[in-house]
Amino acid sequence: MDPSYIERDKRVNLVSFAGASTFYEAKNWLKMTEKSFRVLGMTNEQKVILATFMLKGEAEYWWEVNQTTLPTPITWEHFLEVFNAKYFLDHIHHQKEVEFAQLTQESLSVTDYARRFTKLSCYSPEIIYNERKMAQRFQWGLHPKIRNPLVVLELRTYQ
């Protein structure tokens, strides 16, 4: 790997990962790491090298054991598959999908509802990659006093 990535790494502030006690810690680390990789313009091969370099402690030990079970060369997709299997248990993911599907504003402010909607939307990729569906889903969850006047607008984007 080009050593200049390590220097650029300092500018984008990549953070090491020593394991996670919660689902959100792992998800946030992965999200920030992928965001940094985009800024750095890294290839999938370079992503594996740098991501595994950032593993420390328990996570590093876990990787040392598990990497031997993967086909070589280890792709970014392989890394994500084993990382997700370790830190994002299927039942938790399913629980969050259901939570998103059932989310409504109820007594939340619109700002708090939007914040929660955005946070949970990552568990429903069929919606987040379609702006119109995302807007419709957000609108559907609003309190009827707010939603009903918006119906005529036919929102096309969530933004």
Between CA 28 and CA 20 the distance in angstroms is 10
Q: Is residue 108 helix, strand or coil?
A: coil
Same domain, 56 and 102: no
Q: Is residue 133 helix, strand or coil?
A: helix
Contact 63, 55 (CB under 8 A): yes
- Condensed to tens digits (0 to 9), the pLDDT of residues 55-106 reads 999 999 999 998 888 888 899 998 998 898 888 777 787 888 899 999 999 9
H/E stretch holding 150? helix 144-150
In a domain, 50, yes or no: yes
Between CA 154 and CA 156 the distance in angstroms is 6
Note the pTM of the prediction, 2 decimals. Answer: 0.58
Reference 37, options 87, 68, 80; nearest CA is 80
What's the whole-number average pLDDT of the chain? 84
Same domain, 83 and 25: yes
Same domain, 17 and 69: yes
- Condensed to tens digits (0 to 9), the pLDDT of residues 7-52 reads 555 567 788 999 877 777 888 899 999 999 998 999 999 999 999 9
In a domain, 158, yes or no: no
Same domain, 61 and 111: no
- Condensed to tens digits (0 to 9), the pLDDT of residues 131-141 reads 888 888 898 89
Same domain, 99 and 37: no
Q: Which domain holds residue 56?
A: 4-87
In a domain, 96, yes or no: yes
Same domain, 32 and 102: no
Query: Among the three residues 87, 112, 141, which one is the final residue of a domain in this structure?
Result: 87
